[in-house]
Amino acid sequence: MTPLRQRMIEDMRIRNYSPKTIREYVSQVAAFARYFGKSPDRLGPAHIHGYQVYLIEEKKTSWSSFNNAVCALRLFYRMTLKKDWMIQHLPYGKRPKTLPVVLSKDEVLRLFAAMPKLNYRIMLMTAYSAGLRVSEVTRLRVEDIDCGQMLIRVRQGKGQKDRYVMLSATLLEVLGGCAKLAHPTDWLFPGARAGHYISYRTLDRACKAAAHAAGIQKPVSMHTLRHCFATHLLESGIDIRTIQKLLGHAKLETTSRYTHVSDAKIRSTPSPLDLLATDALAKPEMEPSQNTQAADAPAEPKPEP
């Protein structure tokens, strides 16, 4: 490991960045350096601009990945190289505003039914029942299930924050049956290797395969179940600030996008055209021939005095 990479890692550890973020940011800076075949501390504004053009036009990277690369480079130049003036050469891309994919309740049931492995099916149910991220589901411990208070403790979620979410009575019953079969002692969903939990990539691939088997045409991932959790709660009348707390969102703006997805009120709102049609149908309609004759007939002459 080069001294520069080691220093960047230490800078992020000091600021308590998560191991996942550290790996991702180091990888992004390394990819930037590889593209030019030079150490990143020898690359300047022209290189940054060229690399951003490459990501968009040649690599066709998503805006999410593009901005992830920008975040990594901004941190590297500002924190590790102490070059604050470089930040102006690292603009973020404007991410298109898209709505998250949401399954209907029937599609969620079909997804569960199409998952062949019992423990994976229960993990899907756990994600949907509590709005958990895939990494939060896979890293649940047995002690995180509080049966007395009917709560699930989520340890160090995104932003390294703990939170509590509800424990579904239905899920608790299913987990009880699963515990009798698997006898977990540490991780709630242990992996094949002793002392390890199931990989979130493995679970996500299994979720996609189950969606395909269920004949669901929408693009589905484990994160889709989190979107379903928020949207279905909103449609059932739960206020948005409660949903924000359950999801662990720092900003209400992040949660508010689900108000655009929820279409229960949209379906129940009458169209003004329907209102017009109702009024028109309530009145007797003249025959078209009568209307035409009335319009074309000459006016009768007035009687002479």
> Residues with catalytic annotation?
133, 158, 223, 226, 249, 258
Tokens representing residue 257 in the block: 């996008």
Distance (Å, whole) CA 50 – CA 246: 42
Distance (Å, whole) CA 286 – CA 152: 67
Pairing relationship of beta strands 151-157 and 161-166 according to DSSP bridges: antiparallel
How many CA atoms are closer than 13 Å to the CA of 40, on its beta-carbon side? 28
- 100 three-class SS: coil
What dihedral angle (degrees, nearest 10) is formed by the CA atoms of 179, 182, 183, 187? -90
* CA 294 vs CA 220, 281, 286, 290, 303: distances in Å: 62, 22, 11, 6, 21
Contact 231, 246 (CB under 8 A): no
Percent of the chain that is helix, strand, coil (3-state, to 5): 60, 5, 35
Of 194, 177, 185, nearest in space to 119 by CA: 177
Tokens representing residue 68 in the block: 């992830």
Pairing relationship of beta strands 145-146 and 161-166 according to DSSP bridges: unpaired
Contact 36, 43 (CB under 8 A): yes
For tokens 């920008």, what's the residue?
70
Tokens representing residue 254 in the block: 């992040």
